[in-house]
Amino acid sequence: MSGKNNVTSFQKVLVANRGEIALRILRTLKEMNIKSVAVYSEADRNSLHVRMADEAVCIGPASSSQSYLNIDAIVTAATITGADAVHPGYGFLSENAEFAAAVAKAGLTFIGPSAETISMLGVKSTARKIAVKAGVAVTPGSDGVVGANYHAAARKIGFPLMIKAALGGGGKGMRACLKEEDLDRMFKTAQAEARANFGDDRMYFEKLVLNPRHIEVQVAADNYGNVVAFAERDCSLQRRHQKLVEESPSPFVDSKTRLQLQEAACKVVKAAKYGGLGTVEFLMAPTKEFYFMEVNTRLQVEHPVTEEVCGHDLVKLQIQLAQGEVLPFSQKEAAAIKCHAIEHRINAEDSERNFAPCPGTVSEWTPAGGLGVRVDSHMYTGYAIPTYYDSLIAKLIVTAPDRARLLARSRRCLSEFLVEGIKTTLPFHQKIVVNSDFVSGNTDTGLIERMLKQEKENESQS
Amino acid sequence: MDTKLVKEVTDWLKTTDLAEFCYGKDGDSIEIKTREALPEPAQFESSLVSVCSPAVGIYHAAEKGKTLSLVQGQAVAQAAPLGWVETVGKKHKVTAPCAGKLQAIAVQEGAVVEFGLPLFFIEP
């Protein structure tokens, strides 16, 4: 690690978030002996983050748009409390370039990449171009709009492929085409749909990766060109693109692929001149070929999985990098696999009734405990969950020396975790950890939907 | 019914922490309920209308170079200006929600205020 360092230590940091992630950040600030400021909406007056911070400021009414998404109110709160940096957490304004710029304009440090980097990587096509330039594979596509010779373009990419409308969105003008015989018919219906919905019938192709896994790599970069990548997280267990379970290392990735993933992630980060903590997401085919998807320019919900595996506090690292410090450890240390870890996202949702949100008052809160167990949560007995925000109530993070012992521990934790007064996704997690495909590591992004479909079929039969 | 006993029990209950007390006689039955551990929030009624801060920021009675002197007890019209709350990028007007008498001024020039903090109380 080399480079001139220009370090400014933060005295006071404002946490522009709520819930478990606000607590998570406050804990690290306390350990680093940095004063903290919490912000809260009127609906969060009784929240733990308000109690745990050194200072707390009410920034607006319950609705997020007027409180946790209110750039002016948050920057004002940071200025009048004398904070010298703002940590955005995840969600809300964490990937909002305008917010990062407003924080910087007020003379404060935004704990994250620069506004320019956020807006550059936020545009998918720009991020894709950066990856291509860095020599990282992206899902093969038609490189722009296809014309009358679309057959040749399709053959070049290979089947199966996705037919997409250039101005598309929301699944309109989109078709999955499995073989060339279907191409003409599918292309024409997709094009007609695009014309009807967007008044534009320009189409393009993208390779369709069947049964893909969602594999992501945590990265960290300092201001002096040093970059490290951590062991990958497997986030294939998703329902409607919402991650439910994340684990690290992935049971599917071998050590050779792991190195390739880390190398690819570092290349993208270096090419983007990225600074701070981030995540590079890949789509992995059953052949272990992987394609760049996007870069998340913030701390992620599932960061504890990596913290457990590598043994480093990632929030602390994020703060150190924002203070201008040199990366405090080497690639070898970052990539160390000290244990196997899994995270179960517990939401206030009724998994028996199509995951309907289930806010209410928690009449009993007795989380799992014991060896290898970490619960990141803002719940307490008697807490009334407001209806305005995200339904995540806890992250159960379990660690063990290997995957077999990890799953045994996960099963034990999920069975002893007691939440009364509201419905949660705990029963669904109990089903996941005994699912034979999951246990054998045979997971892809469609597994949860298949599990739910199977359940429905079983119900209708009985 | 022994009203004297009822009065005695009621008076005694007032000296305890008990919320409910049932008493049987021949069937030997006693049922006692204690109050919730958490105290109920204080409830009081007031005829005063509060004027709360519309934002987190710094309160100014008037714009720079101008003065607005507010005096306790003065009459205010509905929508009368009561100052500004200045944030990094905006100025939020504070106005009287109703006509009445300005009974209390709870904010001073240049004070840091949170969203929702009562700044004034008006008696309609």
3-state secondary structure of B118: strand
Q: Do B56 and A58 touch (CB under 8 A)?
A: yes
Contact in structure between A402 and A309 (CB atoms under 8 Å): no
Q: CA A309, A310, A313: angle at the middle one, nearest 5?
A: 110
- C-alpha distances (whole Å) from A95 to each of A110, A125, A427 are 11, 17, 32
Alpha carbon A309 to chain centroid distance? 17
pLDDT in tens, A145-203: 888 889 999 999 999 998 988 877 667 788 889 999 999 999 999 999 989 888 888 89
Chain B closest CA to A52's CA: distance in Å?
Answer: 18
pLDDT at A172: 79
Domain A213-461 listed as CATH 3.40.50.300: no
Contact predicate A422/A346, CB 8 Å: no
Q: Where are the domains of chain A?
A: 12-108, 150-207, 213-461
Return the pLDDT at A380.
97
Contact state of A42 with B115 under an 8 Å Cβ cutoff: yes
The length of chain A in residues reads 462
Beta strands in A303-369 (DSSP E): 340-347, 349-350, 356-357, 364-366
What domains are there in chain B, each with its CATH number?
3-34 (no CATH), 49-123 (2.40.50.100)
Specify the CATH number for A150-207; select among 3.40.50.360, 3.40.50.1980, 3.30.1490.20, 3.40.50.150.
3.30.1490.20
Print pLDDT tens along chain A (462 aa).
444 568 999 999 999 999 999 999 999 999 999 999 999 999 999 999 999 999 999 999 999 999 999 999 999 999 999 999 999 999 999 999 999 999 999 999 999 999 999 999 988 778 888 999 999 999 888 877 888 889 999 999 999 998 988 877 667 788 889 999 999 999 999 999 989 888 888 898 988 999 999 999 999 999 999 999 999 999 999 998 899 999 999 999 999 999 999 999 999 999 999 999 999 999 999 999 999 999 999 999 999 999 999 999 999 999 999 999 999 999 999 999 999 999 999 999 999 899 999 989 999 999 999 999 999 999 999 999 999 999 999 999 999 999 999 999 999 999 999 999 999 999 999 999 999 999 999 999 999 999 999 988 998 887
Q: How far apart are CA A431 and CA A283, in angstroms?
A: 25
Q: Minimal CA–CA distance to A365: which of A286, A452, A426, A411?
A: A426
What residues of chain A have any CB closer than 8 angstroms to a CB in chain B?
42, 57-61, 67, 72-73, 75-77, 79-80, 102, 106, 382
- Whole-number Å distance between alpha carbons of A283 and A271: 20
Give the pTM.
0.87
Phi and psi at A67, nearest 5°, equal -125, -85
CA distance B61 to B68: 6
Residue A85, number of CB atoms within 10 A of its CB: 21
**What are A237's two structure tokens?**
């267990």
- Rounded Cα distance, A268 and A143, in Å: 19
The pair of structure tokens assigned to A137 is 């594979």
* Residues of chain B contacting residue A382, judged by C-beta atoms under 8 Å apart: 38
Query: What's the complex ipTM?
Result: 0.83
CATH 3.40.50.20 fits A12-108, yes or no: yes
